[in-house]
Structure 1
Amino acid sequence: MIDHNPLWGAELDHIRLDTADPSKTAAFYRDAFAMSEKSLADGSTLLQGEERRLIVGSGIAGDQPYSAFRFADETRLAAYRAHLTAQGMNLMPSPTPLFSDGAFAVSDPDGRQMVFGVIDPAQDNGGSPEGHPPHPPGRMQHVVVATADLAAMMAFYEDTLGFVATDHVLRDDEDGGQTLTAVFYRSTREHHSFAMFLSDAARPDHHAYEVSCWNDIRDWADHMATLEIKLWWGPGRHGPGNNLFFMVEDPDGYKVEISAELENMADDDPVRQWPHNERSLNLWGPGWMRV
């Protein structure tokens, strides 16, 4: 299955976050995550650090209109475009200025765009921002959304786009049945690059930066402390993914995660099942229960 999956190898490159106060939000990400700040032609702001970047734009506070996944080269991108076209997908122009010509977008059942492309070398500085002291690594690695229609979203992301399910979270119901409350998806060997949680409405959930080890978690937490940014959740260890983590909130209350030691999966690993409880979400303590 993996060998013939045209999505396989695509990695999260960046996301866009909208806010009613772009200057305040951009300053938060610049300082909290050691990124440089650059104005783009459309009035949005590019925040960029070593292996991490995001775009902050003007709009509804806390909205996350698209996630952009990169392919290694134009050949892989063209094969994926052909795969989606053969399924009758409506391919839309790419909304991001950070990918080369040939990038495109598709809309999921909740109206959020997924963008696929190849990095535009002119927009890739790839290094630490000037004026910031060296920081631990922090590679943008996964993005998560909440949805009220898990079945439709699963069909789209699995059957149409080709994301591979890694873990399911299941809630025991009073009638003896079970309700699926979360799905974790991979597009590389890393446990997940995308995930979705059942909720009462479609909304953004969080995105994450992957670091190398527990000491990096400590150093990033110390960095947050110097800025008087309180940890919102953690430190802890997730069940699905087995990764160490903590989360903070941006000025709009959107959650951002620092993660370490995310599990790597074998190509033929079957989908695993986890119970819907706090311990699955955090083996060490309280969990963030969406439903």
Structure 2
Amino acid sequence: MTFSLQQSTPARLHHLHVVSDNPGRLAEFYTSQMQMTSVGGTDHDRVVLVGRDRAVEITARSSGRGPHFGYAMRNQEELNALRKRLQNHGLACQALTASLFQPGAFVIGDPQGRRMAFGLEMSDAASVASRDGLPARLQHTVFQTTELERVVNFYTDIVGFSISDEVVDDNGRVAVVFLRSDDEHHSLAFFQGSRNEWDHHCYETDKWNDIRDWGDRFAAIDVPIFFGPGRHGPGNNLFFMVTDPDGNRLEFSAELARVAVGAKPGVWPHGERTLNSWGRAWMRS
């Protein structure tokens, strides 16, 4: 039987480590607008923020530290099992000292240099996170890639992600792949493009009214919605998207589908109605 994270060692997207030319400005946005609290970092080059089911570490680009996306495991046994399995595939699992993970975390690199970390949540950081803020659980992150097949094969065959849905263009070529690491439709996705870059990250809310409340919150500081509100085809989730001061794209979502172990991947046509069944879509190139 094919190994899957979902079945054997479920993992959820826990935090992002981003780099910035102006970490102070970016930290202020996530502190004030995303209702997050500083739990680490005492200089101008680094800050660690946590909120209600969301966390981010921001470092200065000049520090030389590369970004990563961090997945939390359920327990030490499953973390150890995943590390052993990855090492058996010949993959280097480098020790990672991370403010948001307990000691014992590790990081791997994909074929194009993206860094993915696995670890156990730092309990004291979690206790600082307010439960009073608006719900917005860090849920998925998406990348553009010039080598879609190679990258997807790595995350499925080596790491253990499962394909939930594929988007296929008019020539029958796969253009987008949605990958799950637990029961939710996707925690990671890639689309074929002309660049290798971070596309967006997403926060899952509890219901449609939360989408409204987050929209009002951004409107209050004159941050416009640039895509949505709408409903995606793959995942069937409600959404809208805005940008932070660095131009990083944030998505807010509700009602993301759940997918059973072993479910056959869905296939969608590449077009606006797949990206937004309600109307116009933001088409990447």
Give the TM-score category using the shorter length. Answer: over 0.9
- C-alpha deviation, 1:2, in angstroms: 7.5
What one-letter code is carried by the residue in structure 2 that aligns with 1:157? Answer: Y
Give the direction of change, closer, same or farther, for the CA distance of 1:167–1:145 in structure 2 (3 Å limit). same
Q: Which residue of 2 aligns with 1:290?
A: 284
* 2:90 aligned counterpart, secondary structure: coil
* 2:164 aligned counterpart, secondary structure: strand
Give the direction of change, closer, same or farther, for the CA distance of 1:28–1:4 in structure 2 (3 Å limit). closer
Instruction: Say if 2:265 is the partner of 1:271.
Output: yes
CA distance in 2, matches of 1:88, 1:41: 37
Q: Which residue of 1 aligns with 2:140?
A: 142
CA distance in 2, matches of 1:219, 1:7: 37
Q: Alignment RMSD, CA only?
A: 2.0
CA distance in 1, matches of 2:186, 2:40: 31
Give the direction of change, closer, same or farther, for the CA distance of 1:246–1:39 in structure 2 (3 Å limit). same
CA distance in 2, matches of 1:28, 1:40: 16
- C-alpha deviation, 1:248, in angstroms: 0.5
- C-alpha deviation, 1:99, in angstroms: 0.9
Instruction: Say if 2:91 is the partner of 1:89.
Output: yes
Normalising by structure 1, report the TM-score: 0.91
- Report percent identity of matched pairs: 38
Q: Which residue of 2 aligns with 1:238?
A: 232
Give the direction of change, closer, same or farther, for the CA distance of 1:108–1:3 in structure 2 (3 Å limit). closer
Matches within 5 A, 1:26-41: 26-40=27-41
Does the 8 Å contact 1:15/1:64 carry over to 2? Answer: no
Q: Which residue of 1 aligns with 2:48?
A: 46
**One of 167, 170, 175 as aligned partner of 2:168:** 170
Instruction: Say if 2:271 is the partner of 1:251.
Output: no
CA distance in 1, matches of 2:140, 2:78: 20
Q: Which residue of 1 aligns with 2:275?
A: 281
- C-alpha deviation, 1:171, in angstroms: 0.5
Instruction: Say if 2:212 is the partner of 1:218.
Output: yes
Q: Which residue of 1 aligns with 2:80?
A: 78
Query: Is there any run of 5+ residues in structure 1 with no aligned partner, and where?
Result: none
1:235-288 Cα distance to aligned partner (Å, 9 max, x none): 110000000001110112110011000001121310110011011011112212
What one-letter code is carried by the residue in structure 2 that aligns with 1:161? Answer: V
Instruction: Say if 2:117 is the partner of 1:115.
Output: yes
Number of equivalences: 281
* 2:189 aligned counterpart, secondary structure: strand
Give the direction of change, closer, same or farther, for the CA distance of 1:205–1:280 in structure 2 (3 Å limit). same
**One of 93, 98, 101 as aligned partner of 1:99:** 101
Runs of 4 or more consecutive aligned structure 1 residues displaced over 4 Å after TM superposition: 1-7
What one-letter code is carried by the residue in structure 2 that aligns with 1:10? Answer: A
Does the 8 Å contact 2:52/2:133 carry over to 1? Answer: no
Does the 8 Å contact 1:51/1:126 carry over to 2? Answer: no
- Which range moves more in the overlay, 223-232 or 107-116? 223-232
**One of 203, 206, 213 as aligned partner of 2:200:** 206
